[in-house]
Amino acid sequence: MSSPIYMPKLGLTMTEGTLTEWLVNTGETVSQGQPVASIETDKIETEIEAEAEGHLHHLCKSGEVFECGVVLGWVLEEGEEPPETPETPEVANDQTTAIEQNEILEKETKTKSSRIAASPAAKRLAKEKGVDLSTISGSGPSGRIVVEDVEAFSASTPVDSISETLDTNASQAAVSEAQKLGVDLSKVQTSSTDRKIRKSDVQAHIKNSSESASEKQSFLFEPIGEGERTQLTGMRKVIANRMHSSLQSMAQLTLHLDVEMDNVISLRREMQSDDELPGYTDFVIASVARALKAHPQLNSQMLENEILQLNEINIGMAVALSDGLVVPVVRNADQLSLNEIAKNTSRLAGQARDGKLALEDLEGGTFSVSSLGMFGVDGFTPVINPPNAAILGVGRIREDTAWDDQTPRKTSRMVISLTWDHRVLDGAPAADFASTIKSGLENPESLLNVN
């Protein structure tokens, strides 16, 4: 019996992934549990394993992006042919995917286009644009419809004609409202029991979406000259979207505070014989963890009409890579000693640079720490990593002068920069939290063990 190979859903936030490489050629024999393809998500690279023994049959080409649940290929028994209509895996109700959002449109077009030859990318684009594939002539091999065919059809077809393919699952008022506001109806979720999109659904989509047409136009500009263009893909695209969304959706403010680091420097000298010598960032993470325990407001997440104060303290540590950055998580950092934190950060940083982080290493962060001190930066304004409510930036340790009464003395100082969401808390408690971090770093013996 044939066994499908799906684009998996790795985590609640994943909606699509890139098929980076087939590890086994089509037609070759594979065994159960054997890796057959590698994929890349917005967080990690991983492999897909065969769930049965048989001959591998590719359906999709490597290098393309596919929605979670798309059948990438099949494992077939001897002499078996691949099914004509790939099945879609069941997805839990609380894990809404792009497939579920387009469920009605799929049902309408299935009878018309289940046997239509079209690339997965063309099918996905057709869903986004509300285009019926049965009305398009393909220019690919054997008349297969490709992305360029969908784009050409969409460009030459009036909006009113396209909307006709949607009006069976959208009211006329919804269609009119969508045209007026520039909304793609295929991206609108319905709240009615008959699954029909109403005008109120379109208005709710505009209210809740940070990517409406008018907002997109606010930061896109025509090129001012000629130059080399680089496609925004992969990790760089994810970072761009998340950081822009973060600044649009939160009321972010930043404060800066000087911290004297003489005692941390002295304590590290005394710890030179330790198996895992803590770095300066480890001291910061330890102090942040203790401060979050004393100021739990900062360990929160903003929901629609409420603030969720989280039970676990999991601190994300930004790690720079050649093509972007990742934020692996030190879990339950408030329950770890300084040396245990150092062992965790050393492991996570190494695996991040080797591309070997597991999904669980990247999920569940409740607060982030980002350091640019190694680049000679004194202070900066870090951007919050959604859905966190705050982030701490760490600058370099510099030589400075302190005054004891009228007597100057040489000291080492470091700037910490706290960015927080003003919707969650005000400036005074944010400053109090930063002062607690400062106190912990200036009295580092308190960070050695768990309180």
Residues marked as catalytic: 422, 426
The pair of structure tokens assigned to 435 is 């002062």
Residue count (the chain): 451
Nearest to 99 by CA among 230, 204, 8: 8
With contact defined as beta carbons under 8 Å apart, do 342 and 357 qualify?
no
With contact defined as beta carbons under 8 Å apart, do 9 and 95 qualify?
yes
Q: In 142-299, which residue ranges form alpha helices assigned H by DSSP?
A: 147-156, 159-164, 172-181, 199-208, 213-217, 234-249, 262-270, 280-294
38: left (phi over 0), alpha (psi -120 to 50) or beta: beta
> Which helix (H) or strand (E) element contains residue 324?
strand 324-326
Rounded to whole angstroms, how far apart are CA atoms 293 and 307?
17
Nearest to 274 by CA among 349, 345, 339: 339
Rounded to whole angstroms, how far apart are CA atoms 381 and 361?
25
Helix, strand, coil % in the chain, rounded to nearest 5: 35, 25, 40
CB atoms within 10 A of CB 282: 25
Residue 404 has phi, psi (to 5 degrees) of: -105, 105
Nearest to 327 by CA among 292, 369, 290: 369
Rounded to whole angstroms, how far apart are CA atoms 174 and 201?
8
Residue with tokens 């063990």: 449
> How big is the chain by its Cα radius of gyration, in Å?
26
Exposure string for 84-103, b = 16+ CB within 10 A, e = fewer: eebebeeeeeeeebbbebbe
